[in-house]
Amino acid sequence: MPKITIQDIATRAGVAKSTVSRFLNGGSVSAKTRTKIEAIVDAAGYQPNVFAQSLKQQTTRTIGVIVPRLDSYAQTEMLHGLDDANQDDVFLIMNTYQVEATVQKAIQQVETLRLSGLIIFAANLSDATKKMIAELDVPVVIQGQDMPEFSRVVVDDGLAGAQIGQLAANAARVLMISVDPLKDFEIGQIRYQATRFQLTGVVDTVYADFSLNSAKQLTAEALATNHYDAIIAMTDLMAAGALQSLLADHRRVPEETKVLGFGGTLISDLAAPNITTFAFDYYRVGQEIYELFKEQQTNPKVKSVRVGGKLVIKQTS
């Protein structure tokens, strides 16, 4: 079927092209004319050029979404939830590869591309980046860090840490695999401390870089000098790395050592044995982000939304 144009719609409706353009841009049109044009548009399946409209309106229905990486199960699920909650907006995904300068360049695109707002999946942000965000005159929602100056959606790391920590509360010696809180405060500080508070035995802490290999190497080094009744990693992927080192060292899991993680990601099921984890509802997080963003468009009051999850007992505990 040939693509219908604004002129085609105008001809069929018996009105001027400018009237159709005004209708498509939300301008004033009589009820009778509006009904006639709507029927033609619906029947033809006409889709207006959003970018062209933005040039006239000085804004778009396009929301910028800044993500630190695209190889994360959690972020993929959040983007899925975000997309399913979508109400006719367009998402512009900007991958920053966890580089602060790239984050700042992405923020600058709000004005250049006349974006209607910004969603940021964030680890820690510098003061300079926060200042750039605060100066924007469009709605902004942060995910991942509980920054009181911005509207945000975060997972309940306090609840998660308390429940995972309880599983190792009586362990004589625990290895905790965390991350630098200067790089991710929510995981490296909030989640870590909530877990650590539950433990009554000796606790050794090592800091990985979120990768499976770094957690695997750090665990191997720790096992060379100590026996651990439990290993708690701040993510499922790092827990999988710890599990590989335990099995390579012929340790029985969970009989000798429990392995516990966070996330409820696919890796916790793919690992053998399956990893006990606290599963966050990342899909719901994505939906909550969009709902909060739409709310911010009409009521820009700073608001925080916290999303929980559930403890999933598997084979490593």
Q: What is the mean pLDDT of residues 247-261?
A: 98
Q: For 145-190, what is each residue's pLDDT tens digit?
A: 899 999 999 999 999 999 999 999 999 999 999 999 998 999 999 9
| Domain shared by 95 and 192, yes or no | no
- For the chain, helix, strand, coil in percent to 5 are 45, 20, 35
pLDDT, position 252: 98
Q: End-to-end alpha-carbon separation of the chain, Å?
A: 60
**CATH (domain of 232):** 3.40.50.2300
pLDDT, position 266: 93
pLDDT, position 2: 62
| Domain shared by 177 and 37, yes or no | no
Whether 140 is in a domain gets the answer yes
> Are the C-beta atoms of 95 and 125 separated by less than 8 Å?
no
Task: Count other C-beta atoms under 10 Å from residue 105's C-beta.
Answer: 13
| Domain shared by 83 and 13, yes or no | no
Q: Which residues of 156-194 are buried (b: 16+ CB within 10 A; e: fewer)?
A: bbbbbbbbbbebbeebebbbbbbbebeebbbbbbbbbeb
pTM of the model: 0.80
What's the CA angle centered on 89, arms 84 and 93, to 5 degrees? 80
pLDDT, position 233: 98
Q: Which residues of 28-57 are buried (b: 16+ CB within 10 A; e: fewer)?
A: ebeeebeebbeebbeebebeeeeeebbeee
Residue 16 is part of which domain span? 6-48
Decide if pLDDT at 133 tops 80: yes
Q: Please list the alpha-helical segments (H only) found in 176-260.
A: 185, 192-196, 212-223, 236-248
Decide if pLDDT at 47 tops 70: no
Decide if pLDDT at 59 tops 60: no
| Domain shared by 75 and 127, yes or no | yes
Give the closest residue to 157 by CA, choosing from 197, 123, 187.
Answer: 187
**Segment holding 91, helix H or strand E:** strand 90-95
Q: Report the number of distinct structural domains present in the chain.
A: 3
Q: For 224-236, what is each residue's pLDDT tens digit?
A: 999 999 999 999 9
Whether 1 is in a domain gets the answer no
Please identify which residue in the block is written with the tokens 């000796």: 202
Helix (H, G, I), strand (E, B) or coil at 126: coil
| Domain shared by 300 and 221, yes or no | no
> Are the C-beta atoms of 149 and 132 separated by less than 8 Å?
no
Q: What is the mean pLDDT of residues 283-306?
A: 95
**CATH (domain of 11):** 1.10.260.40
Which sign does the torsion angle of CA 267, 270, 273, 276 carry?
positive
Whether 123 is in a domain gets the answer yes
pLDDT, position 53: 53
Q: For 65-123, what is each residue's pLDDT tens digit?
A: 999 988 888 999 999 999 999 988 999 999 998 899 999 999 998 888 889 999 999 87
- pLDDT band of residue 52 (cuts 50, 70, 90) is low
pLDDT, position 177: 98
pLDDT, position 23: 79
Whether 247 is in a domain gets the answer yes
| Domain shared by 98 and 237, yes or no | no
What percentage of the chain carries pLDDT values higher than 70? 94
pLDDT, the chain, mean:
91
| Domain shared by 240 and 303, yes or no | no
Q: What is the DSSP string of 34-70?
A: HHHHHHHHHHHT----HHHHHHHHT--SEEEEEES-S
| Domain shared by 177 and 269, yes or no | yes
Whether 222 is in a domain gets the answer yes
| Domain shared by 167 and 200, yes or no | yes
pLDDT, position 114: 84
| Domain shared by 262 and 299, yes or no | no
| Domain shared by 122 and 216, yes or no | no
Whether 136 is in a domain gets the answer yes
